[in-house]
Amino acid sequence: MISLPIPRFTEAQPSTGLLGANLTNADLSNANLALADLRGVSLNGANLTNADLTSAYLFRTDLQGCNLTGATLTDAEMKLALYDSKTQWPEGFRYKSSGAVGPGAVLSGAYLNTANLKDADLSGAMMFGTYLSGANLQGANLSGAGLSGANLQKSFLVGANLQGVNLAGTELQRADLRATNLTDVDFSEVGSIAGADFSGAVGLSDESRAKLLSHPAAELEKWNVFTRQTTRQSLEEIGFIES
């Protein structure tokens, strides 16, 4: 990512391409960023009060801790823009259904395959039937998220918080679930777990572990080529450690 001096834009300055720029904590209040290409830009902690972002391209833009009070976001492309609980939005802006990623986001059915969502706060997000195959969710907070029917095949969930998640119909083939928080996770109707690795997971109840170990042998004996052990081995390891 390019590191730039913190700029100060004025109302009269035209929008420019800032692809991948580091504008962390920048003062962009009243800036004219209409039609700006802000893909991958870090606006973490930036001040964008009353800025004009009409039709701006904010794909994968980091908006965590950003102040967008009074900003104009008409027709802005928000897909995979990252926000958190500290992001301040314009009054009435429906950010949860904008395609952006953050707490309470409505992402059901979205195609997020291979997306980099490392450390993202997705607590309470609606992700029913979301495609997350190969996504990087390392350290992500997914507590209370709706993941029923989601595709998490080959996803990287190491250290993620899945507390209270219902995984009914969720596909976990070859998912890396090492060191995840599985407290109160509902595995009762989970889909395939073939090749999933649960090593070091915490909070997995004896009942849930037994349900997972009741899956067909073909799933339990599936080798995870990345972690180099079977699903059964990872689940039995949890039981051994806890005993």
- pLDDT of 106 > 90? The answer is yes
The pLDDT tens digits of the residues spanning 49-66 come to: 999 999 999 999 999 999
- pLDDT of 133 > 60? The answer is yes
Strand partners, 47: 27, 67
Q: Are residues 71 and 125 in the same domain?
A: no
Q: Which of 83, 100, 117 is the last residue of a domain?
A: 100
The pLDDT value given to residue 10: 45
The pLDDT value given to residue 17: 61
Q: Are residues 240 and 137 in the same domain?
A: yes
Q: Which domain holds residue 132?
A: 103-243
Q: Are residues 226 and 137 in the same domain?
A: yes
Q: Are residues 156 and 92 in the same domain?
A: no
Q: Are residues 93 and 117 in the same domain?
A: no
The pLDDT value given to residue 39: 94
- pLDDT of 4 > 60? The answer is no
Q: Which of 52, 75, 100 is the last residue of a domain?
A: 100
The pLDDT value given to residue 20: 86
The pLDDT value given to residue 239: 59
- Number of independent structural domains in the chain: 2
Q: How many CB atoms neighbour CB 155 within 10 A? A: 29
Q: Are residues 163 and 49 in the same domain?
A: no
Q: Are residues 146 and 125 in the same domain?
A: yes
The pLDDT value given to residue 15: 47
pLDDT > 70 fraction of the chain, expressed in percent and rounded: 91
Give 3 or 76, the one with higher predicted confidence.
Answer: 76
Confidence class of residue 238 from pLDDT cuts 50, 70 and 90?
Answer: confident
**Residue 9 contacts residue 33 (beta carbons within 8 Å):** yes
**Mean of pLDDT values over 69-82:** 97
- pLDDT of 195 > 60? The answer is yes
Q: Are residues 48 and 138 in the same domain?
A: no
Q: Which of 85, 100, 115 is the last residue of a domain?
A: 100
Average pLDDT, the chain: 92
What are the backbone dihedrals phi and psi of residue 241, each rounded to the nearest 5 degrees, phi first? -65, -45
- pLDDT of 12 > 50? The answer is no
Q: Are residues 12 and 80 in the same domain?
A: yes
- CATH number assigned to the domain comprising residue 163: 2.160.20.80
- pLDDT of 185 > 80? The answer is yes
Alpha-carbon span 127 to 229, nearest angstrom: 29
Q: Are residues 117 and 68 in the same domain?
A: no
- pLDDT of 30 > 50? The answer is yes
**Residue 144 contacts residue 126 (beta carbons within 8 Å):** no
Least confident of 13-22, 85-94, 193-202: 13-22
Using CA atoms, how far residue 242 sits from 61, 201, 234, in Å, is: 41, 11, 13
The pLDDT tens digits of the residues spanning 140-184 come to: 999 999 999 999 999 999 999 999 999 999 999 999 999 999 999
This prediction has a pTM of 0.87
Q: Are residues 117 and 202 in the same domain?
A: yes
Q: Are residues 82 and 112 in the same domain?
A: no
Using CA atoms, how far residue 107 sits from 36, 87, 114, 186, in Å, is: 25, 18, 15, 20
Least confident of 2-11, 46-55, 90-99: 2-11
- pLDDT of 7 > 50? The answer is no
